Amino acid sequence: MIHFVLLISRQGKVRLTKWYSPYSQKERTKVIRELSGTILSRGPKLCNFVEWRGYKVVYKRYASLYFCMCIDQDDNELEVLEIIHHFVEILDRYFGSVCELDLIFNFHKAYYILDEILIAGELQESSKKTVARLIAAQDSLVEQAKEQAGTISNMIAQATK
């Protein structure tokens, strides 16, 4: 299973963290510090796997972002690379050629998308189309709610509460 997902920028800034195994806050910062040190220092054209404390970390760089996933010893690295690619493609489709800023300003959406792809550290949906459809449906729910909240009567009701 996947123990955690990290998105780290080339400068070492964390852009997204999702933990599927219990780690305390202290451990989390330590993990990130250790791993960003190891991974960012690796040159291009090397293999995408790092052995780390008995686990394996699979990472791949897309533009300025490193996508890292930590897996068990007997998990399949190539499969995880495909999951990472899957995730990136879905982000790309959703944001329209995604860039780091998209993920910064829409961090919650990145989480929502990730939650449709992975659950409990396992891949749950391998179809890009399905994920896109689900996210779109959820977004439309939000839009409806916004429209409702945006009506003048609603604002008056809020103000005079």
Partner 1 sequence: MAGPSLMDSFFQRSLDDLIKGIRLCLPGGEAAFIAKSVDEIRREIKSTDSQTKATALQKLTYLHSLHWVDMSWAAFPAVELSSSSVHSHKRLALLSASLSFNPTTDVILLLTHQLRKDFSSSNPHDVSLALSTLSSISTLDLSRDLTPELFILLNSSKNFVKKKAIAAILRVFEQYPEAVRVCFKRIVENLESSDMGVLSAAVGLFCELTVREPRSYLPLAPEFYKILLDSRNNWVLIKVLKIFAKLAPLEPRLAKRIVEPICEHLRRTGSKSLAFECVNTIVTSLSEHEPAVKLAIMKIQEFLLENDPNLKYLGLQALAVVAAKHSWAVLENKEVVIKSLDDVDVNIKLESLQLVMAMVSEDNLAEICKVLISYALKSEPEFCNEILGSILSTCSRNFYEVIVDFDWYVSLLGEMSRIPHCQKGDDIETQLIDIGMRVKDVRLELVHVARGLLIDPALLGNPFIHNVLSAAAWLSGEYVEFSRNLLELMESLLQPRTCLLPSPIRAVYIQSAFKVLTFGVYSFLSTGDDASYPSELTDFVLKEDFQESSETVTSAPISGADLSNGLNPRSSHPSAGNGEDPVIAHEQTSSASSKKQQLTQKSVMDLVNLVEVNLGPLAGSHEVEIQERASNILGMIGMIKPRIHSSMDESEGDRIKRELRASGMMKLMFDAFSEELGPVSVSAQERVPIPEGLVLKESLSDIEAICDHIKLPISSSFSLVRSHSLNNATTIHEHPSKEEYEPSSESTSLLAEHRKRHGIYYLSSENKVMISDDYPPALELKDQAIDEAEDLVKLTKQSLDLRKKRNQAKPRPVVVKLDDGEGAHIVVKKPQLKDDLISGAVREVLLGNEAASSSSNKAIKKREKNELNIDRPESNITMTSTVASEPGNASSRHKLRISGKEKKRSSSGKEKKEHDHKHNQKSDRIHAKHKSRQRADGTLNVAAQSPVIPDFLL
- Name the residues that contact partner 1, by CB under 8 A: 1, 14-20, 22, 24-25, 28-29, 43, 45-51, 72, 74, 76-79, 81-82, 104-105, 107-108, 111-112, 115, 119-120, 122-127, 130, 134, 137-138, 141-142, 145-146, 149, 158-159, 161
Q: Which residue has the tokens 């998308």?
A: 113
The least CB distance from residue 92 to partner 1, in Å, is: 20
Cα separation, 15 vs 17, whole angstroms: 7
Task: Count how many Cα atoms sit within 13 Å of the Cα of residue 96 in the half-sphere of its side chain.
Answer: 0
Which value, in Å, is the radius of gyration of the alpha carbons in the chain?
18
Q: Supply the minimum distance, in Å, between the C-beta of residue 122 and partner 1.
A: 4
23/93 with CB nearer partner 1: 23
Pick 75 or 92: Cβ nearer partner 1: 75
H/E stretch holding 104: helix 100-105
> By C-beta, is 40 or 50 nearer to partner 1?
50
Q: Nearest approach, Cβ of 145 to partner 1 (angstroms)? A: 5
Buried-state track 115-135, b at ≥16 Cβ within 10 A, e below 16: ebbbeebebeeeebeebeeeb
Shortest Å distance, C-beta 142 to partner 1: 4
